[in-house]
Amino acid sequence: MAVDHLSTTLSALADPTRRAILARLSTGERTVNQLAEPFKMSLPAVSKHIKVLENAGLIVRGRDAQYRPCRLEAGPMREVSDFVEKYRKFWEESLDRLGEYLHELQRKEKKHGRGK
Amino acid sequence: MAVDHLSTTLSALADPTRRAILARLSTGERTVNQLAEPFKMSLPAVSKHIKVLENAGLIVRGRDAQYRPCRLEAGPMREVSDFVEKYRKFWEESLDRLGEYLHELQRKEKKHGRGK
């Protein structure tokens, strides 16, 4: 079965090194060598991460034959945003419940004279 | 290396069956049997997906010993939303560029008399 686009994007983002690469590209184009620099990783390991990001359409490589600089292409993230947005009301409810719970705890603390 | 929380969430969401399970739970609690029903999948296969979602904290199982119904816990998605939100301006720029390009194409079409 062909993997759907959203799954490919989420899977590509599910790695801290790949997210760090995207974060660096958000400040401008970089060559693979430049991207590899801050990571204590071999060039082939970094290249593999870049390939995953490229396959997911999150990175576009330039045409300059020698350097082929990497450029951020955030387009696929929009689908991720649309997806989680459908669940916003649920996580906001969870936060509300947590807030109420903490408030209740504080109230009890004060009642028992352990508050300041 | 321990996998960070955001990577675990993204990885759990990177599967259409798991996203379909979450979508069903957004309308209310379901037992594993009820969740398995619409998927042409064995109960163990569905259970495995549920286990991944549970480990990511996206599902909470009830305490009822016999049924242990599954409940949606959307909290972890907030971090996903915060992450992609940082890239919003980039994908909006891409959309703007695409819009301009399409507009330019239309303009040329009209100029060459092929438009209606």
Query: 3-state SS string over A43-68?
Result: HHHHHHHHHHHHHCCCEEECCCCCCC
Measured on CA atoms in the order B27, B88, B76, A89, is the torsion positive or negative?
Answer: negative
Token pair for residue B44? 């163990």
| B23, pLDDT greater than 70 | yes
- With CA atoms as reference, the chain A residue closest to B71 would be A90
Q: Residue A59 and residue A57: Cα distance in Å, rounded?
A: 6
Q: What is the pLDDT of residues B76-89, one digit of tens each?
A: 999 999 999 999 99
Average pLDDT value over all residues in chain B: 89
Q: What is the pLDDT of residues A11-64, one digit of tens each?
A: 999 999 999 999 999 999 999 989 988 888 888 999 999 999 999 999 999 887
ipTM of the complex: 0.82
Residue among B14, B77, B85 minimizing CB distance to A91: B77
- With CA atoms as reference, the chain B residue closest to A92 would be B75
- Which residues fall within 8 angstroms of residue B77, CB to CB, at 6 or more apart? A84, A87, A90, A91, B9, B13, B58
| B96, pLDDT greater than 80 | no
Question: Does any CB of chain B come closer than 8 Å to the CB of residue A113?
Answer: no
C-alpha closest to that of B84 among A21, A23, A5, A86: A23
Q: Residue B54 and residue A14: Cα distance in Å, rounded?
A: 17
| Band (B18; pLDDT cuts 50, 70, 90) | very high
The model's pTM: 0.83
pLDDT for A104 equals: 86
B15 CA to chain A: closest CA distance, Å?
Answer: 6
Q: Could A11 and B14 be called an inter-chain contact, meaning their C-beta atoms sit closer than 8 Å?
A: yes
Q: What is the DSSP string of B27-93?
A: TS-B-HHHHHTTSSS-HHHHHHHHHHHHHTTSEEE-S-TTT--EEE--TTHHHHHHHHHTTHHHHHH
Average pLDDT value over all residues in chain A: 89
Task: Specify the 3-state DSSP secondary structure of A100.
Answer: helix
Question: Does any CB of chain A come closer than 8 Å to the CB of residue B45?
Answer: no
